[in-house]
Chains A and B, each alone.
Chain A
Amino acid sequence: MVKAHSELMKRIQSGKFVFTGELEPLKTTDLSEVITEAKLLKGYVEACNVTDNPASNVTVSSLVAAYLIQKEAGIETVYQLRCSDRNRIALTSDLLGAAALGIKNILALTGDHTLLGDMPNAKPVFDLDSALLTGMIRRMVEEGKDLNGLDIKGPRPKFNIGVAANPNSNPIEPEIWKVIRKVENGADFVQTQVCFDIEKTIEFLRMFKIFEVPVLIGIFPMKSYGVAAQFDKFVPGVSVPKDLLTKFKQVKSKAKSKEERRKMYDKINLEFFTPFITELMKSGLSAGCHVMSVHYQEIVPKLFREMGLTKALIPEAVIPETVIPEAIIPVVS
């Protein structure tokens, strides 16, 4: 069994069905909003992913956001790191920084192509890919060495490495081979792309079972029809089921007031995802669920209530190992 450095990994290894959340910092210098969102999730999820320039749209540094969320909201983070924007030098340097700031989980991603984002003329980097990035981090953690085998001074970084997978991929075979490569290179856990089809998901988990790597299945409760439609259209590799999309669309004409509309949206989400998660728990193949309710965190407590789950008991505030002098970190209130 891999060594657990993070609370998330310890929880996964304890055999408990875990939940992780997802936070998306914006193109801003003020992180108070995302910290408030993080506080809403506290107690429900073991850790929160902090996205790194999602879909190649520029946002505030995910490392800084991850650190501040850990510090201010007292919730462990999964620092997402993409190969789209950094070469091996920048990746190593950011990872060392993350270790110094007490970050324990990394999600190693290839990242969307820069052409898909809001700065399409940027130079795409892709010096490494997610499999190689995983290998590089593994080497840092296990041997205390960088990609070229040169020593890292002082204590070795303590990370648990997550990787992404897409059970919706068609054909699935090359995708499975790809994830296997990441596992062979030292991934500790897998968080999947958004899944809607439970049968397809279970089939993927079955195929993947022999690798004995915990898999967290991604779900995406959608705040409104607009969010659902945009996701369906713009996110590569996933589509929202047609009947779910129609249900969302009908809300607009049916609901009279804003509150009523809110309630109806919540209801559709709860009705769809409660059986999904229950089925997932029953299958015993998945280590947990990754709830990507970006800017819609209020659904998470409701989902817990609906499923009859109690608030998870998570140890208070994650204390970073190295304490950074207060003066250089702006306090967000």
Chain B
Amino acid sequence: MEEIQRYLEPYANVIVVGCGTCSTAVQTGGEKQVMEMADRLRGKWFVTTTIVEAPCDERLSRRAWRKIQKQFLKEGKEIDALLVLGCGAGIQTLAEVADIPCIPGLNTHFLGKVERLGLYYERCRACGNCHLGETGGICPVTRCPKDLMNGPCGGMIDGKCEVGGYVRDCAWYLIWTRLRKFHRLDQFRKIRPPRQFGLEAYPRGIDAIPTHRLNRKTPVMGPAETEEYILKAIKDAKETKAQESSKISK
């Protein structure tokens, strides 16, 4: 919460954006959580709330952003920043669509999969330690092939990346352009500490129902079974080898 408040410090009008899909399902960015978050921020910030059906889907994000803009324009209000209670992919999709700072409200630990349609881009590596709030809503952990945390490397040419033949944009070039636009170059200049890989040790999980996990038994193989298995494997290997050599001799 302190981290969020620090990120929101320079702004006055904030929209708390929830995610109507996964974050609602895992109860981290559903309607209830969005309201809770808004209540905690009220007093210091002018807070409005909204739920985007699926912020990671660019079409839905774009539609939602247009709607928000229209509504605010009608009421004559300004929007300074979005606080997104969604995964890193959702925050970054919104950041690409909406031309204002997008601040992560959650630390994304891992992602589910989407099995649809044709174009997908990796935006979030679920590192468990979100930096998007100070990198202009662009993730260097995902979009820099070297995961660099402190600016572009010597492989950045005309804003392009050395990996893949200067086709992709350099993540740090994008971060720089975006932060400069928002007059937040202080964030660009900041020396970021080494990454905390300890937070990324896998496999990760959410034990929302601990008893469920406890009830699951770890499969055990008895010693006799093990010995039998090894013997069989050796026998199989011998047979295959014999078959192969007979093939060669033929």
Contacts and interface: CB of A to CB of B under 8 A. Distances in A.
B139 to A, nearest CB: 15
A246 interface: no
A116 B158 contact: no
Nearest to A147: B194
A130 B185 CA distance: 20
21 contacts: A112-B155, A112-B162, A116-B163, A127-B195, A129-B146, A131-B191, A132-B194, A170-B158, A171-B159, A174-B151, A174-B173, A174-B176, A177-B176, A177-B188, A178-B151, A180-B189, A181-B189, A236-B155, A237-B155, A237-B156, A237-B157
A124 B162 CA distance: 14
B152 to A, nearest CB: 5
B112 interface: no
Given A132-B149, A171-B159, A174-B172, A127 B189 contact: no
Interface residues of A, number: 35
B205 interface: no
A171 B159 CA distance: 7
Contacts of B120: none
A326 interface: no
Interface string A77-106: 000000110001000000000000000000
Interface in B151-196: 151-159, 162-164, 172-173, 176, 185, 188-189, 191, 193-195
A88 B193 CA distance: 13
A169 B151 CA distance: 13
A232 B152 CA distance: 21
A185 to B, nearest CB: 6
Contacts of B148: 110, 126, 129
A175 interface: yes
A243 interface: no
B158 A129 contact: no
B181 to A, nearest CB: 13
Given A115-B145, A237-B157, A175 B152 contact: yes
B191 to A, nearest CB: 6
B202 interface: no
A88 B158 CA distance: 30
B149, B157, B172: residue with the most chain A Cβ atoms closer than 10 Å: B157
B150 A132 contact: yes
B160 to A, nearest CB: 10
Contacts, number: 91
Interface of B: 145-159, 162-164, 172-173, 176, 185, 188-189, 191, 193-195, 197
Given A83-B146, A88-B194, A175-B151, 14 more contacts: A110-B154, A124-B145, A131-B151, A132-B150, A170-B158, A174-B176, A175-B152, A177-B185, A180-B189, A181-B151, A181-B191, A184-B191, A236-B155, A237-B155
A219 to B, nearest CB: 17
A147 B159 CA distance: 32
A128 interface: yes
Contacts of A169: 154, 156-157
Contacts of B185: 177
A129 B149 contact: yes
Interface string A116-128: 1000000010111
Contact of B150 (A124, A129, A170, A237): A129
A150 to B, nearest CB: 15
Interface in A161-204: 164, 166, 169-171, 173-175, 177-178, 180-181, 184-185, 193
A116 B162 contact: yes
A110, A126, A132, A178: residue with the most chain B Cβ atoms closer than 10 Å: A178
A113 B145 contact: yes
A145 to B, nearest CB: 15
Nearest to B158: A170
Nearest to B192: A132
B159 to A, nearest CB: 7
Given A129-B149, A174-B172, A236 B194 contact: no
A21 interface: no
Contacts of A25: none
A69 B152 CA distance: 33
B156 A164 contact: no
Nearest to B153: A110
A135 B150 CA distance: 12
B188 A236 contact: no
A169 B176 CA distance: 14
B151 A236 contact: no
A131 B155 contact: no
A185 B192 CA distance: 11
What 4 A-B pairs come out closest when comparing CB atoms? A178-B151, A131-B150, A126-B146, A236-B162
Contacts of B158: 170
Contacts of A83: 146
